[in-house]
A = this chain, B = another copy of it.
Amino acid sequence: MDYFSTDFTLGILGGGQLGKMLLYETRKWDVKTKVLDASEAAPCRIACDEFVLGSLMDYDTVYQFGKDVDVLTIEIENVNTDALEALENEGVTVYPPTHSLRTIQNKAKQKLFYVDSDIPTAPFSRFAYASEIEDSVNNGGISLPFVWKAAQFGYDGQGVKVVRSLEDLKDLPQGECIAEELIPFKNELAVIVARNPKGEVVTYPVVEMEFHPEANQVEYVLCPARIPDAVAQKARDIALQVAEKLEMTGLLAVEMFLTEDDEILVNEVAPRPHNSGHYSIEGSYTNQFEQHLRAILDLPLGDTQSKQAAVMVNLVGAEGHTGPVHYQNMAEILAIPGVTPHIYGKKETRPFRKMGHVTIVDNEIERAREKAQQVKQRIGVISQ
């Protein structure tokens, strides 16, 4: 199959900001694309060759969409996997493979996979219904505090809550969930792995994620992480192991905790380009979106090394602002050398909604981190 010829079509399930950045790369290589998304205002609406409006969770919609593409990929996990399986059975190339995606889609299944595969992860219990948790606490099955996670359809810190008292259980959604031991950790790390159909595999440098204290959302991503080389090597090795055991094709972002005694525990994975890899557009020889294309099109994988140290700042909607978005002080941050804003093109802001990100590159990671703080302090994502 010649991916640089005009009769090849890549299908993308999801038309959000990740898809939009993937489209920069398909445009760069003139790969024909077709995108499915449920929103008329999807950021991918333009820049793809064909846009289809429809639900990613509907069997028929996904099946019909995928029938005539050459390779089908995703930019969000919440898609109808039965349709993907049917397409795979009919010979459509689906990456990530449906069986890998199914393991990841359900967090309980994902945790069981780690246990079965000897991947280090925090101890947990699984519950078919959230209502069973209280009994378990009362009977000494699990102990407070713990982290509650919905098994399905979490996104952007939703579907995750630290439970410190039985009171905290009250407003949780019902349905399948896990309760995970709350591990004290020094750092949250992530490693992006790329694997192609031949089984060639590469890892990006370890990044360090700094979280917003209230929103349970990543505020800064630093590459490289400020950790010893031996720890970084261990993190990359574990990430590789996860990708291979999952039999992934495409990108896999592996989020990890670094515990206080320098143990690494896998938190969760995403089988696609990931927020923790956005820095790579400006920082790396091969950015994560190009790398995803290389992997799913069975091309040689690109160099994952960095040209520069990089820090990414998430631009999220300010608290107290809901409505048509307005970006404050953009000119001011553009005056700082090495600063590149990315605006996703969502028309409406709301508190903590991901509206864009800003990458800062510099020869020195500490200087990049300082500039990132300036950016964060000055920029405002508000309603008009």
Contacts and interface: CB of A to CB of B under 8 A. Distances in A.
Nearest to A304: B337
Contacts of A286: 340
B342 A28 contact: yes
Interface in A320-374: 324, 326-327, 330-331, 334-335, 337-338, 340-345, 347, 361
Contacts of A331: 299-300
Interface size class, chain A: 35 or more
Given A285-B337, A334-B299, A335-B300, A27 B47 contact: yes
B302 A4 contact: no
A47 B337 CA distance: 28
B30 A344 contact: yes
A307 interface: yes
A237 interface: no
Contacts of A73: none
B6 A324 contact: yes
Contacts of A343: 4, 28-30
A118 to B, nearest CB: 33
Nearest to A285: B338
A303 interface: yes
A199 B303 CA distance: 40
A299 B24 CA distance: 23
A286 B327 CA distance: 21
A303 B361 CA distance: 11
Contacts of A384: 5
Given A29-B341, A347-B6, A361 B307 contact: yes
A92 B70 CA distance: 45
Contacts of A308: 307
Contacts of A29: 341-343
Contacts of A6: 324, 347
Nearest to A31: B343
Interface string A247-284: 00000000000000000000000000000000000000
A244 interface: no
A325 to B, nearest CB: 8
A344 B27 CA distance: 8
A57 interface: no
A46 interface: yes
A20 interface: yes
A308 B285 CA distance: 10
Contacts of A327: 2, 4-5
Nearest to A7: B324
Contacts of A330: 3-4, 299
A133 to B, nearest CB: 42
A326 B286 CA distance: 24
A25 to B, nearest CB: 10
A48 interface: yes
Contacts of A342: 28-29
A208 interface: no
A294 interface: yes
Contacts of A47: 23, 27, 46-47
A30 B345 contact: yes
Which A-B residue pairs are the 7 nearest by beta carbons? A300-B335, A30-B345, A303-B337, A30-B343, A47-B47, A4-B327, A307-B307
12 contacts: A5-B327, A6-B324, A24-B28, A27-B47, A28-B341, A28-B342, A30-B343, A30-B345, A300-B331, A300-B334, A302-B337, A303-B337
